[in-house]
Amino acid sequence: MNFMEQSGLDAAFDAIGSILGDRLTTSLAVREQHGKDQTYHPGAVPDAVAFPHTTDEVSAIVRICAGHQVAVIAHGTGTSLEGHIAALRGGITIDLMAMKRVLEVNAEDQDCRVEAGITRQQLNDHLRDTGLFFPVDPGADASIGGMTATRASGTNAVRYGTMRENVLGLTVVMADGEIIRTGGRARKSSSGYDLTRLLIGSEGTLGVITEIRLRLFGIPEAISAAVCSFPSVEDAVNTVILTIQSGVPIARVEFLDTLSMKACVGYSGLEGYAVAPTLFLEFHGSNAHVAEQTETVKGIAADFGGGDFQWAAGAEDRNRLWQARHDAFWACKALRPGASAIVTDVCVPISRLAECVATVDEEIRRAGLIAPIIGHVGDGNFHLVMLVDLDDADEVARARNLNRHMVEKALSMGGTCSGEHGVGYGKIGFLDAEHGPGTMRAMRQIKQALDPQGIMNPGKIVEI
């Protein structure tokens, strides 16, 4: 594929510029800002950044890029973690953050339709008066478009599901600039191929998502959060396994290992919390049902040596607690000032989670790294935050090695190389081992069919 021949690029700029005016820029500062996500993966600067206001404008941009074989990279808040937005082959980054309208809210049907650039917090602010909320919460205040494109999940997924379960339909600009709609307002459908699900998690490699129809949920009558520490990782995990087996619809259950608790206690002022393997729990429901769920889980936790529940029943305490959980990344970074974070995640069957964490713990020690572990334990998903000096080649090599071992361990347990961070180009090398050559061939065939020129976010997920 011949990308970026200067003549084609110039012609594309001219054509797009005539539509967008100064909303197309080649300013180096803007380009650099758009070529790099929050991680250690090296960025790659696009040749220009476009700021469309409508799906039609996105369509026009992609059509022009297709005509000149110029790469197209969709961009939301830039909070992805596997190098998703690096313009590996140059091209034009489409920044969708000006598209943040709420197009519909249907309270009776508990759905809405939004533009890709709205963030989850902006959406929830908009919904405040309706009694409804959108539950998927990956931590960062990411855009709904980016969350859809990366199949995001996060703390609430154990109860409410991931983007996979909560997107009803999409408006997408395909690789030739055609605008298509997938899915619809019906809660379920058996009418043809599930293009919605195919596009969720496709990371901009099959099309640019410009609008998303979402499921919403009623804000529960009661919400209650608690913290409980355990003698060991295994005890914490077993508490979660039994909780789920008991049919308790726990809304969030987060695991923090001793080191990450130490980080959070220091960073977020969680004085009084034990520095030990810990669960952060949240219960949603009616008052009576929340009380019942809590009693059940307290009983289970006690059987596994869990300490007393420390409550955060008021909204303020609760927000402080979850803010601390969301800030855990920054808290961990503060454990080694000046260091960079190499962040990775895997997901395994929950029955194997304690063993997987123990193995990774042992590898951390052996590698001589500082690397707290934090997990969405109800899903069997956990994150490793390796704090390294990126200028120390040997340390970086040990961290990469640890990442590889963690993925291999997860795959050997029937797990996945990425529970929620996606593939980008950071994990592209693991897909063969996870899926096998036949399955990867099917993915490439689909990529080839929908993006025959390979212009959509090239170098991510699959190469054609």
Footprint of a copy of itself on 98-127 (CB under 8 A): 106-111
* 55 counts as binding a copy of itself under rule CB under 8 A: no
Which of 129, 191, 338, 368 lies at the binding interface for a copy of itself (CB under 8 A)?
Answer: 191
Choices 27-35, 37-45, 193-201, 336-344 (CB under 8 A): range interacting with a copy of itself? 193-201
* 390 counts as binding a copy of itself under rule CB under 8 A: no
**In the complex, minimum distance from the CB of residue 38 to a copy of itself, in angstroms, rounded to a whole number:** 16
Helix, strand, or coil (residue 196): helix
Q: Closer CB to a copy of itself, residue 182 or residue 258?
A: 182
Does residue 278 contact residue 227 with C-beta atoms inside 8 Å? yes
Quote the CA–CA distance of 285 and 232 in Å, as a whole number. 29
In one-letter notation, the amino acid at residue 463 is E
In one-letter notation, the amino acid at residue 328 is A
Residue 283 neighbours by CB distance under 10 Å: 25
Does residue 2 contact residue 69 with C-beta atoms inside 8 Å? yes
Quote the CA–CA distance of 331 and 263 in Å, as a whole number. 5
Instruction: Reduce the secondary structure of 213-246 to three states and give it as a string.
Output: EEECEECCCEEEEEEEECCCHHHHHHHHHHHHHC
Which of 31, 68, 89, 151 lies at the binding interface for a copy of itself (CB under 8 A)?
Answer: 151
* 72 counts as binding a copy of itself under rule CB under 8 A: no
H or E, element range at 55:
helix 55-67
Contacts of 126 by beta carbon, 8 Å cutoff, 6+ apart: 102, 105, 118
* 412 counts as binding a copy of itself under rule CB under 8 A: no
Q: Closer CB to a copy of itself, residue 200 or residue 369?
A: 200
Contacts of 365 by beta carbon, 8 Å cutoff, 6+ apart: none
* 184 counts as binding a copy of itself under rule CB under 8 A: yes
Q: Closer CB to a copy of itself, residue 133 or residue 267?
A: 133
* 192 counts as binding a copy of itself under rule CB under 8 A: yes
Quote the CA–CA distance of 142 and 326 in Å, as a whole number. 13
Which of 50, 112, 347, 374 lies at the binding interface for a copy of itself (CB under 8 A)?
Answer: 347
Choices 2-10, 226-234, 253-261, 373-381 (CB under 8 A): range interacting with a copy of itself? 373-381
Q: Closer CB to a copy of itself, residue 9 or residue 300?
A: 300
Contacts of 436 by beta carbon, 8 Å cutoff, 6+ apart: none
Choices 114-122, 321-329, 365-373, 431-439 (CB under 8 A): range interacting with a copy of itself? 431-439
Choices 17-25, 308-316, 324-332, 448-456 (CB under 8 A): range interacting with a copy of itself? 448-456
Quote the CA–CA distance of 100 and 275 in Å, as a whole number. 41
* 211 counts as binding a copy of itself under rule CB under 8 A: no
* 285 counts as binding a copy of itself under rule CB under 8 A: yes
* 182 counts as binding a copy of itself under rule CB under 8 A: yes
> Which string of DSSP letters, residue by residue, matches 128-163?
GGGTEE-----SS--BHHHHHHTT---TTHHHH--H
* Residues that contact a copy of itself, how many (by CB under 8 A): 96
* 246 counts as binding a copy of itself under rule CB under 8 A: yes
Which of 96, 431, 455, 456 lies at the binding interface for a copy of itself (CB under 8 A)?
Answer: 431
Which of 11, 98, 223, 443 lies at the binding interface for a copy of itself (CB under 8 A)?
Answer: 443
* 59 counts as binding a copy of itself under rule CB under 8 A: no
Tell which residue, 446, 424, 448, 316, has the closest CA to residue 73: 424
* 181 counts as binding a copy of itself under rule CB under 8 A: yes
Which of 187, 313, 319, 358 lies at the binding interface for a copy of itself (CB under 8 A)?
Answer: 187
* 137 counts as binding a copy of itself under rule CB under 8 A: no
Would you say the C-alpha torsion 299, 304, 307, 312 has a positive or negative sign? negative
* 429 counts as binding a copy of itself under rule CB under 8 A: no
* Residue bearing tokens 């901009």: 204
Contacts of 386 by beta carbon, 8 Å cutoff, 6+ apart: 341, 342, 343, 344, 364, 369, 370, 371, 399, 402, 403
Which of 78, 415, 426, 454 lies at the binding interface for a copy of itself (CB under 8 A)?
Answer: 415
Q: Closer CB to a copy of itself, residue 127 or residue 200?
A: 200
In one-letter notation, the amino acid at residue 221 is E
* 249 counts as binding a copy of itself under rule CB under 8 A: yes
Q: Closer CB to a copy of itself, residue 111 or residue 257?
A: 111
CA atoms within 13 A on the CB side of 437: 0
Quote the CA–CA distance of 85 and 76 in Å, as a whole number. 9
**In the complex, minimum distance from the CB of residue 211 to a copy of itself, in angstroms, rounded to a whole number:** 14
**In the complex, minimum distance from the CB of residue 4 to a copy of itself, in angstroms, rounded to a whole number:** 26
Which of 430, 455, 456, 457 lies at the binding interface for a copy of itself (CB under 8 A)?
Answer: 430
* 445 counts as binding a copy of itself under rule CB under 8 A: yes
Q: Closer CB to a copy of itself, residue 352 or residue 398?
A: 352
Which of 155, 418, 453, 457 lies at the binding interface for a copy of itself (CB under 8 A)?
Answer: 418
